[in-house]
Amino acid sequence: MTTKAATETPAPSARKPAFPFFDLKGQYAHIREEVLAAVARVFDSQHFIYGPEVLKFEEEIAAYVGTQFAIGCASGSDALLLPLMALGIGPGDEVITPPFTFVATAGSIARLGARPVFADIEPGTFNLDPEMIERAITPRTRAILPVDLFGLIADMDPIMEIAARHGVAVVEDAAQTIGAKYKGRNAGAMGPVGCFSFYPTKNLGGAGDGGIITTNDPDLAHKLKLLHEHGSPRRYEYEVVGANSRLDALQAAVLRVKLRYLEDWTEARIGNAARYDHLFTNSTCRDQVVLPKTPEESRHVFNQYVIRVPKRDQLRQFLQQAGIATEIYYPYPLHLQPAFAHLGHKPGDFPESERASAEVLALPIYPEMTPAQQVAVVSAITDFYSQA
Ligand SMILES: Cc1ncc(COP(=O)(O)O)c(C=O)c1O
């Protein structure tokens, strides 16, 4: 596949950004002593698998999300895979999901031999369009896998209603959305099961890979506990074929420290998003830039602040030269990726996802970002369009 964006964008080393896209070092500087103490606690105990850190973290996440159970696992990707396994999804089954998402969403379906059935997104929110879900339902549909993209929960009421009407499950990909709300309900508690990632750049990011699954269903929780531990209820007894997908005690210990800061960091992200909105609305580039939408009754937690712009790749290059790092999530929708060629799609099949891939640009939004840095970003974008 030719990578248009990649060829047009100078190598990141060409010029060191004046400020980065993420600032994990800045975040770490604030919590260094607490993180190191937590890591030392695990080393001193030599209890690296399960143990009190994992149990307490699972309890703390269940309390934060408002579910009865939370089951740690090895990654956000496994947090999607294990519930689909628990639902018995496999060859001959279909699961409806958007093509405009991270690869793991559809990958988790394909890894089980089931068919990802793509449904297009709603352009304002980048999330699954319920009307498109309805059109994609067939007698083979077993589940809907909506993604809460960039920090905004999908339009879950109609999705839950469609799922109930057709008797199919809902698995919520909340990998990017911890702390978000939809009509007073929390991300990960929308449907029967929620899936989170602790990839380091997530709003709650670990010191490596990690994930967690949330549910109120005791049967599902039981199956998930079995599946993430080789299908084993007791040592050397195996009820089903499972995986080794545990959350490390070291990750749990670090994440427990960071969970205490999550609300402050989330509020900082929301504040930064409001500042961008204000700066763009008052700039001469306001007619070029489409701002992210937060529907009423939603709390968007801005894992990413994603704008739509004309001449996106040229703008990105201009910003890079000005020392401003940006990202493109996602430059190619999944239906056009070689990994999903077996589904037989072609350009034009999901026009809103394709248009989003061509127009989106994620701006830095990390909690430690200063107002002056945000002013610099918006000024540079304004300069680009005033020269264009
Ligand atoms: C929407 C979405 N789903 C799934 C994942 C997979 O999570 P992980 O990278 O922890 O496996 C990610 C994270 O990158 C994601 O953004």
pLDDT digits (tens, 9 = 90+) for 76-97: 999 999 999 999 999 999 999 9
Place of tokens 């999607």: 80
Q: Are 357 and 337 in contact (CB under 8 A)?
A: no
Alpha helix segments (H runs only) across the chain: 4-8, 24-45, 52-65, 76-86, 103-111, 130-136, 156-166, 218-227, 249-259, 262-281, 312-321, 351-359, 371-387
Could you give the dihedral angle defined by the CA atoms of residues 300, 305, 308 and 313, in that order, rounded to the nearest 10 degrees? Answer: -160
Q: Which of 347, 343, 366, 345 is nearest to 358 (CA)?
A: 347
Q: Determine the distance separating the centroid of ligand 1 and the alpha carbon of 104, expressed in angstroms.
A: 6
Average pLDDT over residues 294-320: 97
- Please state, for a pLDDT cut of 90, what percent of the chain lies above it: 94
When pLDDT is cut at 50, 70 and 90, the band that residue 14 belongs to is very low
pLDDT at 324 over 50: yes
pLDDT at 184 over 90: yes
Q: Determine the distance separating the centroid of ligand 1 and the alpha carbon of 222, expressed in angstroms.
A: 23
Our answer on whether the CB atom of 147 is closer than 6 Å to any ligand 1 atom is: yes
* Burial profile 9-35: b = 16 or more Cβ within 10 angstroms, e = fewer: beeeeeeeeebbbbbeeebeeeeeeeb
pLDDT of residue 2: 38
When pLDDT is cut at 50, 70 and 90, the band that residue 353 belongs to is very high
Q: Determine the distance separating the centroid of ligand 1 and the alpha carbon of 29, expressed in angstroms.
A: 25
Give pLDDT tens digits for 131-173.
999 999 999 999 999 999 999 999 999 999 999 999 999 999 9
Task: Tell me the C-alpha distance between 251 and 38, whole Å.
Answer: 10
Q: Determine the distance separating the centroid of ligand 1 and the alpha carbon of 197, expressed in angstroms.
A: 6
pLDDT of residue 46: 96
When pLDDT is cut at 50, 70 and 90, the band that residue 18 belongs to is confident
Our answer on whether the CB atom of 100 is closer than 6 Å to any ligand 1 atom is: no
Our answer on whether the CB atom of 224 is closer than 6 Å to any ligand 1 atom is: no
Based on the number of CB atoms within 10 Å of its own CB, is 111 exposed (0-12), middle (13-18) or buried (19 or more)?
Answer: middle
- The token duo for 292 is 């992210």
Q: Determine the distance separating the centroid of ligand 1 and the alpha carbon of 286, expressed in angstroms.
A: 32
Q: How much is the pTM?
A: 0.95
When pLDDT is cut at 50, 70 and 90, the band that residue 340 belongs to is very high
Average pLDDT over residues 69-73: 98
Average pLDDT over residues 327-331: 98
Q: What is the mean pLDDT of the chain?
A: 95
- The token duo for 36 is 């190191």
Ligand 1, pocket-test mutation among 80, 171, 176, most atoms within 8 A of CB:
176
When pLDDT is cut at 50, 70 and 90, the band that residue 220 belongs to is very high
Our answer on whether the CB atom of 102 is closer than 6 Å to any ligand 1 atom is: yes
pLDDT of residue 16: 54
Q: Determine the distance separating the centroid of ligand 1 and the alpha carbon of 337, expressed in angstroms.
A: 17
When pLDDT is cut at 50, 70 and 90, the band that residue 19 belongs to is confident
Q: Pick the atom of ligand 1 nearest to 148's CA.
A: 1
